[in-house]
Amino acid sequence: MLYELRHLKKVYNHRTVLDIEDLILEEGQVTGLLGPNGAGKTTLLKILTFILSPTSGKIRFKGKRVDFAGGNLIDLRRKLVLVQQQPILFTSTVANNVAFPLRIRKIEKTERERLVEELLELVGMLSFRDAMAHRLSGGETQRVAIARALACFPEVILMDEPTASVDVENQIVIERIIGEINQKRDISVIFTTHNMIQASRLAEKTVFLFEGRVARSTYENIFSGFIKEDEKGDKVCMLQGGMELHVKNGKPGPVRISIDPERIKVGQREGDLSPRNAFTGRLIQLTDENSRVRALVDVGIMLSVLISKERLEDLDIRVGMKVGVRCPEQSIEVF
Amino acid sequence: MDFFVDSLLSAILLLGSLDPELLEIIGVSLKVSSTSTLIASLVGIPAGFLITFRAFRGKALLITVLNTLLALPTVVIGLFVYAFISRRGIFGHLDLLYTQEAMIIGQVILIIPIVTTFTISAVSRIDERYRETALTLGANALQTAWIVFREARFGLVAAVIMAFGRVIAEVGISMMLGGNAKGFTRNMTTAMALEYDKGEFILSVALGIVLLTVSFGMNIIFHYFQGKTRV
C-alpha cells in the first residue's frame, strides 16, 4: 500500500475543496486521478506530494503516518516528486536543470554527467542538452521536467495533467515515457487528467474525483437533475430532456447523479428489458477497450456503457442501429 | 558660457594629469560607498527574502515603514547618527565622528531600506512555482532560496546598483559625519560642495565628470547583467 487516506479534508476560505472518506493507492501501479476542472485533483496531488497540508484527516505513506506539522517532511518529499502541469524550468541549460536534483543530493560530477545523459536519452531530449531551458516548447519542457523529476530517484512520481498543455506528438511520447518509467524503473506513477480515454489507456487504477469527493466506481455519465417523489412515494430523478430515472436514495431537490457504465444493461430493443428505467436510443459509437467495448448510446442524453466482447457478439448490434438500454437503480449514484 | 567651457577644459586637463589630490578624493568616495553598499546588501537582501517568505505579525506595517524610509533625507540620518557618535552620545567614546566609518554607518542606514524593498519586490515577482519546484525536487530551505535568488538576480543587481548610486551621490551624510577632512573623509560630493563655496569651479567640474562617469559605468554593468539574465 502506497498511500492510505482517511477522512481527509482541505478547506480554503470556508470552502471544502477536498473531502475524501477513504482512499487507498497501491504501490507499483499507474494510478489516474480523473475528474473535471475544479474537482480537487491538483489539491489532492499537492497533498500527496506533501507540499500542501490537509485541513484535517490522516495520511499514511507506506504504512507510516505522515506528520504535516513535524519537520520530517523533507525526507518524505525526497521519495517522491511532482511534475506540475506547466512545469517551470530554471533559467539555465537543459542539462543544468536535470543536474539540479543530483547536485543537491551531492552526486559527484562524472556520475552526474552520466545520469543527466541517460535521463535525457530516456525522454528523447539528449540533443537539447546545452539548449537554454526557457527556449523549449511546452511539450519539450514537460519532457525535460520529467527527466529532472527522475533525477530525484523517486519511488513515486506524481504528474499534474502531464499532457494537457502539449501537442499530440509530445502527448504520445509522454504517455510512452509514463509506461516506461513504471515498468522498467518500477516507479509508482500517479497522474491527474480530465481525459477519460487517457486514464483508461494508461492507468491500472482510476480514481474519479468530483467536487472534491471520490465517486465510487464510476467516472462517467454524470448528469444534473432534480429528485421528486411520485404519488407512490417512489423517488424519481428528472433529467434534462424530460427523462425520468427511478432512484433508490437521494433527497428531493437538485442533485447530480452518475450512472455506472458497467452496470447499464443493453438489449436489441427496449422491450427485451424490464420496463423500469429503460429507454430506446441510437448507438453512436463503439470503441475497443482492452477486453471490453465501450458503447455510446444517445437516449436523449449520452450514455456511455461498458459491455463484454462476447455480449456484443450476442447482441449483434452496429453503429446507427436502435438499441434498448436500462439503468438499474443500483447503477445510479446520487450525490 | 566662456567661463563654463574654460572650467570644463581645465577640469579635463586636471583629470588627465592624474592629480594626486583628485585621485585621493575619488578613492575615498569609491571605498566608502562600496563598503556601505556591500554591508547594506549583506543585510538587506537576506532581510528582503525573510520578509517575503515568512509570515509574521506586522509584516504589512514593516513594509510600509521600509517604503517610507526610502524618502529619508540624508541630513536627518546625519543628525540621527551624530546624536549617537558625537562626544556626548552613547557611542562617543568610540571616536567615530568625522571618520570614514561614520560615513559608512550613515550610508548603510540610508540604503538598507532601498536594498530591502527592492529585494522584496524582485523576489515576490518570481513565480511561486520556482519555489515549489525546488521543494519537490528535494531542496532544503537554503537551496530553495538559492534558486529564487538566481531567478531574481536581475532585480537584485538592480537593487544593489540603485543603492550604490544613492550613496556615491549623497552629500549630507558625508558632510555631517565625515566632516570633509582633507585626505581622510573628503569625497567627491563634499569636495565639490567645498570648491563651489570657494568659487573654485575647476575641481568641482572635474569631480562632477568623474561622478557621472562612475554612474555611467554602473549603468553599463547593469545592462551587462540585464543582457545576461533576461530571457
pLDDT tens digits, A284-320: 888 887 678 888 888 888 888 988 888 888 888 888 8
| CATH number for B168 | 1.10.3720.10
At B188, give phi and psi (nearest 5°): -60, -45
Taking CA atoms, B28 is separated from A232, B86, B172, B222, in Å, by 99, 22, 16, 23
Q: Across the interface, do A149 and B137 touch by the CB < 8 Å criterion?
A: yes
pLDDT band at A258 (very low <50, low <70, confident <90, very high): confident
pTM over 0.80: no
Of A177-191, B34-48, B212-226, where does mean pLDDT reach its minimum? B212-226
Q: For the packed helices B20-53 and B59-69, what is the interaxial angle rounded to 10 degrees? A: 160
Q: Across the interface, do A104 and B143 touch by the CB < 8 Å criterion?
A: yes
- What pLDDT, on the 0 to 100 scale, is given for residue B114? 96
- What pLDDT, on the 0 to 100 scale, is given for residue B231? 44
Which residue in B127, B132, B135, B136 has the most chain A C-beta atoms within 10 A of its own C-beta, making it the best mutation to test that interface? B136
Cβ-based contacts of B129 with chain A (< 8 Å): 84, 86-88
Angstroms from A81 CA to nearest CA on chain B: 5
Q: Across the interface, do A91 and B127 touch by the CB < 8 Å criterion?
A: no
Of A38-47, A150-159, A213-222, B142-151, where does mean pLDDT reach its minimum? A213-222
- What pLDDT, on the 0 to 100 scale, is given for residue A260? 85
- What pLDDT, on the 0 to 100 scale, is given for residue B92? 85
* Confidence check: pLDDT of A219 > 80: no
The per-residue pLDDT for range B81-95, each reduced to its tens digit, is 999 998 888 898 888
Beta bridge partners, B211, equal none
- Coil, strand or helix at A42: helix
Instruction: Kindly state whether A148 is in contact with chain B, defined as any CB-CB distance less than 8 angstroms.
Output: yes
Residues with Cβ within 8 Å of A248's Cβ and at least 6 positions away in sequence, in order, are A235, A329, A330, A332
Q: Across the interface, do B133 and A74 touch by the CB < 8 Å criterion?
A: no
Q: Smallest Cβ distance to A90: which of B135, B140, B150?
A: B150
Instruction: Kindly state whether A48 is in contact with chain B, defined as any CB-CB distance less than 8 angstroms.
Output: no
With CA atoms as reference, the chain A residue closest to B138 would be A78
CA angle A257, A262, A268 (to 5 degrees): 105
- What pLDDT, on the 0 to 100 scale, is given for residue A270? 61
- What pLDDT, on the 0 to 100 scale, is given for residue B210? 85
* Confidence check: pLDDT of B230 > 70: no
H-run or E-run covering B48: helix B20-53
Q: What is the mean pLDDT of chain A?
A: 87
Q: Across the interface, do A105 and B147 touch by the CB < 8 Å criterion?
A: no
Q: Give the distance from CA B127 to its chain's centroid.
A: 28
DSSP structure string for A256-274: EEEE-TTT-EEESSGGGS-
Q: Smallest Cβ distance to B137: which of A92, A134, A152?
A: A152
Helices (H), A105-195: 109-122, 138-150, 168-183
- What pLDDT, on the 0 to 100 scale, is given for residue A155? 93
Residue that wins the pLDDT comparison between B62 and A287: B62
- Coil, strand or helix at A63: coil
The per-residue pLDDT for range A179-206, each reduced to its tens digit, is 999 998 889 999 998 877 788 788 888 8
Cβ-based contacts of B138 with chain A (< 8 Å): 74, 77-78, 81, 101, 104-105, 152
d(CA A114, CA A125): 14
Q: Across the interface, do B132 and A105 touch by the CB < 8 Å criterion?
A: no
Q: Across the interface, do B147 and A84 touch by the CB < 8 Å criterion?
A: no
Cβ-based contacts of A104 with chain B (< 8 Å): 137-140, 143
Q: Across the interface, do A91 and B151 touch by the CB < 8 Å criterion?
A: yes
Using CB atoms within 10 Å of the CB of residue B90, give its burial: 0 to 12 exposed, 13 to 18 middle, 19+ buried.
Answer: exposed
The per-residue pLDDT for range A326-335, each reduced to its tens digit, is 888 888 888 7
- Prediction ipTM score: 0.72
* Confidence check: pLDDT of A71 > 80: no
- Coil, strand or helix at A247: strand
Q: Which of A253-257, A314-318, B169-173 has the highest mean pLDDT?
A: B169-173
Angstroms from A207 CA to nearest CA on chain B: 23
Angstroms from A193 CA to nearest CA on chain B: 20
d(CA A245, CA A125): 53
Report the domain count for chain B.
1
Q: Across the interface, do A105 and B138 touch by the CB < 8 Å criterion?
A: yes
Instruction: Kindly state whether B230 is in contact with chain A, defined as any CB-CB distance less than 8 angstroms.
Output: no
Residues in B 146-165 with any Cβ partner in A closer than 8 A:
147, 150-151
Instruction: Kindly state whether B135 is in contact with chain A, defined as any CB-CB distance less than 8 angstroms.
Output: yes
Of A4-13, A72-81, B44-53, B153-162, where does mean pLDDT reach its minimum? A72-81
- Coil, strand or helix at B96: coil
Domain that holds residue B12: 2-230
* Confidence check: pLDDT of A216 > 70: no
Contact in structure between A199 and A30 (CB atoms under 8 Å): no
Instruction: Kindly state whether A100 is in contact with chain B, defined as any CB-CB distance less than 8 angstroms.
Output: yes
